[in-house]
Amino acid sequence: MKGTAKAHTNIALIKYWGKRNDALILPTNSSLSLTLDGFYTKTTVEFRRDLSSDLFLLNDQAVSGQAYERVSRFLDLVRKLSGEENIYAEVNSRNEVPTAAGFASSASGFAALAAASTRAIGLELSDEELSILTRQGSGSACRSIYGGFVEWQMGEREDGLDSRAVQVAPEDYWDVRVAAVELSSTMKKVSSREGMKRTVDTSPFYSGWLEAIPNDLMQLKAAIKEKDFEKLGAIAEANCLKMHATTLGANPPFTYWHDTTVRVMHAIQEMRSKGIPVFFTIDAGPNVKALYLPEHEEVVKSMLENIPGVTSVTLSRTGKGISYL
Ligand code: PMV
């Protein structure tokens, strides 16, 4: 009863920002991401009759506390689905998501856990069923089941059975690149969970965010179809700014940006004014991701590395979906 799977992380170009159901992780808006080749998690799950509770090892270190609880609660869902309610698992995860790149590992982590654990317990799930299950571990993780450009369709149902990701274009469709820019002070003070909740509950800008989504999604999908990079970048950057604007209107107000975050944003926009098509997007933290095309890789990398306060720049290509090992 053993399974091993590998999943890549993803970066949202249209952000998931807000839940309509916390327990099932049902979002208030659809989102669209790019799966990234450079960052992944490899997980082995073994269900064993001799265990009286789950074990979770991350990079060979036993994990306890909140992170352990999230994994064990997710395994409860897998146990329930399989009908094997009284069997525990040893979970071994290896994160190839350098902390320096400033990515949350929850997307690749929960996608790999879902794939490996369902395989180990003998469930045969379709990618769609796997995405629905993965979503309940971490929202953004449901997009990592697929490679390339991926849309998480929010769905309408109360039970969440129509809230899952679908592939918009595969990983070899278009060679768009991403540079993960890490800044020297990366302390994350407000988690994505807490940040979403506070903006949904208190920000007067939140309704504006929701109103903007259908058009942003439509435009982004058109840009992907036309392979129009300037259009893709402009929509992604503007969508990111709208998401971050909602946090400034929250009560109490907050922002994920540091001074260096803003410096990197300005440097990217300045580069653009000189004719290099490069755009930024930012998740629930201070680090910046730059989007660019292969022919501009060198100039973009050296520009980013020379910004004071930037500690590392990690490059990535588009990545594939779940694989079983
Ligand atoms: O799925 P979570 O809880 O890691 O939240 C992700 C939220 C953002 O990264 C800000 C946006 C997104 O769509 O990934």
Ligand 1, residue 140: give the atom nearest the CA: 1
Residues 6+ apart with CB under 8 A from 180: 38, 39, 101, 102, 103, 287, 289, 313, 314, 315, 316
Share of residues in the chain with pLDDT > 70 (%): 97
CA 121 to ligand 1 centroid distance, Å = 28
Identify which of 14, 16, 150 to mutate to test ligand 1's pocket (most ligand atoms within 8 A of the CB): 16
Contact between 112 and 6 under an 8 Å Cβ cutoff? The reply is yes
Which residue, chain included where needed, has tokens 């269900």? 47
Tell me if the pTM is above 0.90: yes
Architecture of the 2-173 domain: 2-Layer Sandwich (3.30)
Residues with CB under 6 A from ligand 1: 12, 15-16, 31, 104, 106, 138-140, 192-193, 283-284
As a whole number, mean pLDDT of residues 65-92 equals 96
The token pair at 242 is 């709208």
Query: Cα–Cα distance between 210 and 91 in angstroms, integer?
Result: 38
Alpha carbon distance, N-terminus to C-terminus of the chain: 14
- Tell whether ipTM is more than 0.85: yes
Output the CA torsion 127→243→10→272 (10° steps): 140
- For atom 6 of ligand 1, the residue with the nearest CA is 140
pLDDT tens-place string over residues 234-267: 999 999 999 999 999 999 999 999 999 999 999 9
pLDDT tens-place string over residues 210-220: 999 999 999 99
CA 106 to ligand 1 centroid distance, Å = 9
Query: Cα–Cα distance between 222 and 219 in angstroms, integer?
Result: 5
- Superfamily name with CATH number, domain 181-316: GHMP kinase, C-terminal domain (3.30.70.890)
Domain spans of the chain?
2-173, 181-316
